[in-house]
């Protein structure tokens, strides 16, 4: 499986197996470099492909499936209209959890920006997860986001902090999107990802957590992949009750790009 994922060289490749415990399917996910316990868009795409192939039966406007993964159970709701799949939305397999906060200077060096361009009013560079951890970094403005570049020696230095340095950068926007983002994971075999569902799902929980003023439902429209010429639009949602983030979700539209056959020796 790892060799196939490396050959495809996509951000992630999924492998689908019969369920081990009575759920819809068992799913394993690989980047070109390693297996990961959870990811967002691979689950959305896998649900779309299975539904499109008739593997899930009749949708009848809405169907929720459950995938078994290393991080836990991932539910994906498939929405259909006029016989066509409109969108898929997943619920993260784990509760929002926080890891260490990293030195601004160290993270800034890894993404080739000035430490003063990293925003720390809400949170510093921090490891956060709902099934797959990322380092979340808020930047000052769009020009800084666009200038950010991978500095491999800086990413390697981050590993000394005992974290997997998959770094999610974001700014707050007001141009038709609520958030603009990028994600660098060069040590996972992903120099830059055009749409990172797991990270954006986590961001929804992160922002809801730090919004001390209210509970209830939160939603963000997020742009990612613009700087690499592969723009994506994501809708991230969170539910918060009594000051605690209960649920995080990510979804969007999906299309079939290609299909084929792999021949193995």
Catalytic residues: 12
CA dist., res. 220 & res. 173, Å (int): 10
Are the C-beta atoms of 21 and 52 separated by less than 8 Å? no
Interstrand relation of 84-91 and 118-119 (parallel, antiparallel or unpaired): unpaired
> Which residues are CB-contacts of 218 (< 8 A; sequence separation ≥ 6)?
204, 207, 208, 211, 237, 238, 239, 240
Q: What is the secondary structure of 139-177 as a DSSP string?
A: ESSHHHHHH----HHHHHHHGGGTS---EEEEEE--SS-
Helix axis angle for 197-210 and 41-52, nearest 10°, is 130
Are the C-beta atoms of 71 and 132 separated by less than 8 Å? yes
CB neighbours of residue 4 within 10 Å: 12
Total number of residues shown for the chain: 265
Burial 215-244 (b: 16+ CB within 10 A, else e): eeebebebbbbbbeeeebebbbbbbbeeee
| Three-class DSSP category at 115 | helix
Tokens of 97: 């959890």
């Amino acid at each position: 499986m790892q060799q196939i994922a490396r050959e495809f060289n996509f951000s992630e490749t999924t492998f689908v197996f019969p369920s081990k415990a009575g759920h819809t399917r068992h799913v394993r996910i690989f980047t070109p470099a390693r297996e990961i316990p959870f990811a967002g868009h691979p689950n959305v795409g896998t649900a779309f492909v299975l539904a499109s192939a008739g593997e899930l039966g009749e949708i009848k406007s809405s169907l929720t499936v459950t995938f078994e993964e290393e991080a836990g159970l991932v539910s994906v709701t498939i929405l259909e209209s006029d016989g066509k799949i409109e969108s898929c939305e997943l619920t993260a397999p784990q509760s929002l959890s926080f890891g260490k906060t990293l030195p601004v200077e160290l993270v800034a060096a890894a993404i080739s920006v000035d430490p003063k361009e990293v925003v720390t009013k809400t949170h510093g560079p921090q490891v956060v997860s709902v099934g797959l951890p990322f380092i979340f970094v808020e930047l000052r403005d769009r020009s800084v986001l666009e200038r950010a570049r991978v500095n491999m020696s800086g990413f390697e230095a981050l590993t000394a902090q005992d974290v997997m340095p998959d770094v999610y950068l974001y700014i707050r926007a007001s141009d038709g999107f609520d958030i603009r983002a990028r994600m660098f994971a060069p040590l996972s075999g992903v120099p830059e990802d055009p749409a990172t569902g797991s990270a954006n799902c986590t961001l929804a929980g992160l922002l809801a957590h730090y919004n001390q003023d209210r509970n209830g439902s939160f939603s963000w429209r997020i742009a990612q992949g613009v700087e690499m010429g592969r723009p994506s639009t994501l809708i991230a949602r969170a539910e918060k009750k009594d000051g605690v983030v209960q649920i995080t979700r990510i979804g969007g539209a999906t299309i079939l790009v290609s299909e084929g056959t792999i021949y193995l020796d």
